């Protein structure tokens, strides 16, 4: 089973420019992190081929995240400080969510 997961992520890394596992409230609504990302101008303007997956439904890939963390093409994003502090800048008024999405999609 683990072999299949590793093969899938290898294939996805070959197919997509960027893979985002979004740790969110599992909401595609405008109020949820994934919905905000998918509706952001940065996402819609991006010329990259991007695979966006809810982290909660793909825990097997989240478990492989640390294996591929050297890659700038496989990222877990969320509001938790566990995945980095970009959204802390939003909470403190230093960046907007749109600016954070632009940084994530670079």
Total number of domains constituting the chain: 1
Residue 82 has pLDDT above 60, yes or no: no
CA 27 to chain centre: 14
pLDDT of residue 69: 60
Specify whether the CB–CB gap between 89 and 100 falls below 8 A. yes
Please give the residue that has the higher pLDDT: either 7 or 65. Answer: 7
Per residue in 17-75, pLDDT tens?
999 988 766 455 556 888 889 999 999 999 999 999 888 787 777 666 666 665 778 88
Query: Could you give the CA distance from residue 34 to residue 13 in angstroms, rounded to a whole number?
Result: 20
User: Kind of pairing, strands 74-78 and 50-54?
Assistant: unpaired
Closest residue by Cα to residue 38 from 48, 49, 29, 47? 29
pLDDT of residue 16: 94
Closest residue by Cα to residue 55 from 33, 88, 70? 33
What sign results for the dihedral spanned by CA atoms 13, 59, 68, 87? Answer: positive
pLDDT of residue 6: 75
pLDDT of residue 84: 53
User: Which domain range does residue 87 map to?
Assistant: 2-104
CA 53 to chain centre: 7
């Amino acid at each position: 089973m683990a072999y299949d997961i590793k093969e899938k992520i290898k294939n996805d890394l070959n197919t997509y420019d960027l893979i985002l596992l979004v740790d969110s409230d599992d909401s595609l609504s405008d109020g949820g992190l994934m919905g905000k990302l998918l509706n952001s101008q940065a996402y819609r303007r991006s010329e990259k081929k991007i695979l966006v997956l809810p982290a909660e439904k793909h825990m097997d890939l989240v478990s492989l995240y640390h294996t591929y963390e050297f890659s700038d093409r496989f990222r877990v994003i969320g509001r938790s400080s566990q995945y980095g502090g970009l959204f802390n800048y939003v909470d403190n008024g230093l960046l907007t969510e749109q600016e954070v999405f632009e940084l994530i999609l670079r």
